Amino acid sequence: GNYNAQGGWYKTILTNQSTITTVLKNLSLLYQRQGKYEAADTLEKCAAKARKDPQAIVQVLDIIKQTNLTTQQQQPSPSCLS
């Protein structure tokens, strides 16, 4: 179920943390070029936090999903910013 899927993501994140952080930074730059400034800023902050807290990457995945599903530039404030 959901626990197994999250467990799999978490193992992947721990194994590939530096690669994922780099991808998040690149995605942040892409969002900036697309005018999605709030989402870009959020991704950049979460990517920085992810170096110390891999769980932040899981939260970033939710941000990316929401950014891709909405046409508005308003994004939810993830807990990785607190």
Asked if 44 contacts 56 with a C-beta cutoff of 8 angstroms, the reply is: no
Element (H, E) at 39: helix 37-50
Burial class (CB in 10 A: 0-12, 13-18, 19+), 46: buried
Give per-residue pLDDT as tens, 22-54.
888 898 999 999 998 988 898 888 888 877 777
Question: In the structure encoding, which two tokens stand for residue 23, read together?
Answer: 């991808």
Q: How many CB atoms lie within 10 A of CB 28?
A: 20
More confident of the two residues 22 and 80: 22
Rounded distance, CA 79 to CA 22, Å?
A: 20
Q: So where are the chain's domains?
A: 2-70+77-81
